């Protein structure tokens, strides 16, 4: 008897041929531009409202008249969810959860307690609880009305990447880098069972009670569907693309969208577990975020700093197929530029204008006192600091790391351990950030980004 997994493999090649051809019509395709960094999370609400979480420390609230910016996180924002029609919850690299009032774009509450970056937030079906997943190895359950912690869910041996409620909110599923998916009783926070023991870290989990399954996506490129009652594997859709970074279930529960590290979105038919669509959503970089809207269209986010809304059915629109690459081919760069692209460009531009990127612009940085770019909000650790940016201090920044040279600043911890790489980076920055030399060619490289 042919299994669902074998059917998927048989149908996959034909599906790719059908969906790789750009369509002439672009009905239903949209882009929400405005963020200054990669899109890490998306959510869809009522009346075409959208939420986006970005590496630029911001949450975007989109209602059709341009975005409102929700500012309050001190690091990248990884996940966001609607908390009823008037509020939202977000979580980020600053270990914080923030509840927002969407009408005023103001922070209502900040929920503290996690000791590692927060990768995912979820809201219970009755809107009474918030769940959070953190790299501190814990999931949290929080009262959505008071912001108070209800309980910690502990037991994972490594960071928790995702959380998902079942349909009535009585059970929470957690996915972890330790290779397990676990389920918990929401009423008292006690463990139910280990649902999956997998050899690779698990990034995402989606639960569908009405059809009796949950699905998870892992580092090995597998999307696996598990019967919630028996634990049997219903379908195993493992392709050569890895890792699986995002999952989303449509409102009618008939489609499961899968985003991966190679920039593809695959849409599965949950009745037959065949591939309904498969297309490259971006020419470079991963698909970190997916969500289905009320109208059946699919929202995605990745490196290109925009939320893309894809048509419900049909082929990939021409705009999607013609997206520009995020950086020049590595062979066209010298080593210093490659170091900038890998270590700096996701947060910093080379020009002088303050943008929505997470870090200040680098134009004229040599000889500039730290924390002095007008219009950029620095952390207190850099304001009033007597540090001057020059060859020696920039070298030290990447030699010992920001946590040693500028402790308490917002700059993510990263180092360049090879001395020649640091020298090459400094020489490149001298050329690229010289105010007298900045021009169209240099500015065209400003937005070239690539994750490490």
Q: For residues 289 and 303, give the distance between their C-alpha atoms in angstroms, rounded to a whole number.
A: 10
Confidence of residue 218 (pLDDT cuts 50, 70, 90): very high
Q: For residues 119 and 129, give the distance between their C-alpha atoms in angstroms, rounded to a whole number.
A: 17
Query: Helix (H, G, I), strand (E, B), or coil: what is residue 402?
Result: helix
Strand ranges across the sheet with 287-292: 30-33, 306-310, 298-302, 287-292
Q: For residues 66 and 186, give the distance between their C-alpha atoms in angstroms, rounded to a whole number.
A: 38
CA atoms within 13 A on the CB side of 209: 11
Higher pLDDT: 315 or 109? It is 109
Q: What percent of the chain has pLDDT over 70?
A: 85
- Name residues whose C-beta falls within 8 Å of residue 297's C-beta, 6 or more positions apart in sequence: 28, 309, 310, 311, 312
Query: Maximum CA pair distance of the chain?
Result: 73
Q: Is the pLDDT of residue 72 over 70?
A: yes
Taken in order 145, 147, 152, 157, the sign of the CA dihedral is positive
Q: Which residue has the tokens 């680098």?
A: 362
DSSP assignments along 209-237, one per residue: TTTTEEEEEETTSEEEEEETTT--EEEEE
Q: Is the pLDDT of residue 170 over 50?
A: yes
Confidence of residue 109 (pLDDT cuts 50, 70, 90): very high
DSSP 71: E
CB 287 within 8 A of CB 265: yes
Output the CA–CA distances (angstroms, integers) from residue 75 to 86, 136, 170, 340, 380, in the order listed: 24, 16, 32, 20, 14
pLDDT of residue 357: 75
Q: For residues 393 and 391, give the distance between their C-alpha atoms in angstroms, rounded to a whole number.
A: 6
Q: For residues 148 and 248, give the distance between their C-alpha atoms in angstroms, rounded to a whole number.
A: 28
Per the DSSP assignment, residues forming a β-bridge with 98 are: 90, 110
How many C-beta neighbours within 10 Å does residue 84 have? 12
78 class by beta-carbon count within 10 Å (0-12 exposed, 13-18 middle, 19+ buried):
buried
Mean pLDDT value across residues 9-33: 51
Element (H, E) at 245: strand 244-249
pLDDT of residue 328: 65
Q: Which two tokens stand for residue 160?
A: 């928790």
Q: Which residue has the tokens 């062979």?
A: 331
Mean pLDDT value across residues 237-251: 93
Element (H, E) at 50: strand 50-54
Q: For residues 159 and 151, give the distance between their C-alpha atoms in angstroms, rounded to a whole number.
A: 17
Domains detected in the chain: 4-321 (2.130.10.10), 330-446 (1.10.760.10)
DSSP assignments along 267-308, one per residue: EEETTTTEEEEEEE--SSS-EEEEEE-TTS-EEEEETTSEEE
Q: Which two tokens stand for residue 262?
A: 């190679």
Per mean pLDDT, which range of 29-33, 250-254, 431-435 is the poorest?
Answer: 431-435
Per the DSSP assignment, residues forming a β-bridge with 101 are: 87, 106
Strands 97-101 and 160-165 turn out to be unpaired
Q: Is the pLDDT of residue 322 over 50?
A: no
Q: Which two tokens stand for residue 61?
A: 């609230």
Per the DSSP assignment, residues forming a β-bridge with 307 are: 32
Q: Which two tokens stand for residue 410?
A: 């917002």
pLDDT of residue 387: 87
CB 300 within 8 A of CB 31: no
pLDDT in tens, 361-411: 899 999 898 888 888 888 777 776 788 899 998 888 888 887 777 777 767
Query: Helix (H, G, I), strand (E, B), or coil: what is residue 11?
Result: helix
Q: Which residue has the tokens 């490129």?
A: 221
Mean pLDDT value across residues 65-72: 90
pLDDT of residue 329: 66
Element (H, E) at 337: helix 335-343
pLDDT in tens, 298-309: 999 999 899 999
CB 448 within 8 A of CB 341: yes
């Amino acid at each position: 008897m042919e299994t669902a997994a074998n059917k998927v493999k048989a149908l996959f090649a034909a599906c790719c041929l059908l969906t790789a051809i750009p369509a002439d019509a672009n009905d239903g395709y949209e882009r929400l531009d405005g963020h200054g960094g990669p899109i890490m999370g998306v959510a869809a609400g009522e009346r075409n409202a959208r939420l986006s979480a970005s590496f630029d420390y911001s949450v975007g609230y989109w209602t059709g008249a341009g975005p409102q910016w929700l500012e309050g996180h001190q690091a990248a924002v990884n996940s966001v969810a609607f908390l009823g029609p008037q509020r939202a919850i977000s979580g980020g690299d600053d270990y914080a959860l923030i509840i927002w009032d969407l009408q005023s774009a103001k922070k209502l509450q900040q929920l503290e307690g996690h000791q590692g970056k927060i990768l995912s937030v979820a809201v219970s079906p009755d809107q009474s609880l918030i769940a959070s997943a953190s790299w501190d190895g814990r999931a949290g359950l929080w009262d959505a009305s008071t912001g108070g912690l209800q309980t910690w869910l502990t037991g994972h041996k490594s960071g928790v990447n995702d959380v998902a409620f079942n349909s009535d909110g009585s059970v929470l599923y957690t996915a972890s880098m330790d290779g397990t998916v676990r389920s918990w009783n929401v009423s008292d926070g006690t463990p139910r069972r280990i649902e999956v023991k997998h050899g690779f870290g698990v990034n995402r989990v989606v639960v569908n009670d009405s059809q009796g399954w949950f699905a998870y996506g892992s580092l090995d490129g597998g999307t696996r569907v598990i019967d919630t009652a028996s634990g049997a594997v219903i379908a195993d859709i493992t392709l050569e693309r890895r890792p699986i970074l995002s999952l989303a279930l449509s409102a009618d529960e008939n489609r499961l969208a899968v985003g991966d590290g190679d920039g593809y979105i695959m849409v599965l038919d949950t009745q037959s577990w065949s591939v309904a669509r498969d297309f490259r959503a971006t020419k470079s970089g991963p698909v970190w975020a997916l969500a289905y809207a009320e109208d059946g269209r699919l929202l995605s986010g990745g490196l290109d700093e925009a939320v893309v809304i894809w048509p419900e059915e049909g082929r990939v629109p021409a705009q999607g197929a013609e997206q520009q690459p995020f950086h020049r081919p590595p062979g066209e760069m010298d080593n210093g530029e490659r170091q900038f692209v890998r270590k700096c460009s996701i947060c910093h531009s080379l020009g002088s204008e303050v943008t929505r990127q997470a870090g200040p612009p680098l134009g004229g940085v040599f000889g500039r006192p730290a924390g002095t770019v007008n219009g950029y909000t620095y952390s207190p650790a850099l304001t009033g600091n007597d540090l001057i940016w020059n060859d020696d201090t920039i070298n030290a920044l990447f030699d010992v790391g920001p946590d040693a040279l500028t402790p308490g600043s917002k700059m993510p911890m990263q180092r360049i351990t090879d001395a020649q790489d640091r020298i090459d980076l400094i020489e490149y920055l001298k050329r690229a950030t010289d105010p007298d030399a900045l021009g169209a060619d240099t500015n065209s490289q400003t937005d070239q980004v690539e994750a490490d």
